[in-house]
Structure formats: structure tokens, C-alpha cells
């Protein structure tokens, strides 16, 4: 597989990836806690200000992305 370019952000608490869907204006912003944090801490500490900050600080990074299959119902 080839590497792709993604908008990415990382700080001491979280990693974030902007995953485009169909067109540039529609995307998923995926947040994952760093190893020193838990998912519960990430959820409790994430605010609109956090999301805005992540969005403003995304930078292009190249890499391979592997996501598990899942369904939303």
C-alpha cells in the first residue's frame, strides 16, 4: 500500500486525524487518547474549544491508515 497524506494533530493528550468523505467539506475528525490518557479522560476533557484548536493546528502528514470495520445503527 502507498502512503497517503492526511491532516494530523498531536499533543501530550491526544492524536487527531481529519478523514475526508466524498468532498472536502465533509469529513470525520477522529480523536484518540495518547498512551498516558484514557478514553474517558479524553471525552471528559474535550470541549468545542479543544476541537477548534485541533482543527486550526492540523498539519499534512504522510502515512498509512488502518481502520477496523464498524457499523453505526
Q: Determine the pLDDT at residue 65.
A: 85
Query: How much is the average pLDDT of 15-26?
Result: 89
User: Left, alpha or beta for 31 (phi > 0: left; psi -120 to 50: alpha)?
Assistant: beta
- Cα(46)–Cα(63) distance, integer angstroms: 26
- pLDDT at 48 exceeding the cut of 70: yes
Please state whether beta strands 14-21 and 23-33 pair in parallel, antiparallel, or not at all (unpaired): antiparallel
Amino acid at each position: 500500500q502507498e502512503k497517503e497524506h492526511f491532516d494530523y494533530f498531536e499533543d501530550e493528550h491526544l492524536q487527531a486525524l481529519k478523514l475526508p468523505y466524498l468532498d472536502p467539506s465533509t469529513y470525520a475528525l477522529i480523536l484518540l487518547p495518547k498512551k498516558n490518557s484514557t478514553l474517558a479522560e479524553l471525552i471528559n476533557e474535550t470541549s468545542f474549544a479543544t476541537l477548534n484548536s485541533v482543527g486550526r493546528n492540523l498539519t499534512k502528514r504522510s502515512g498509512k491508515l488502518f481502520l477496523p470495520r464498524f457499523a453505526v445503527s
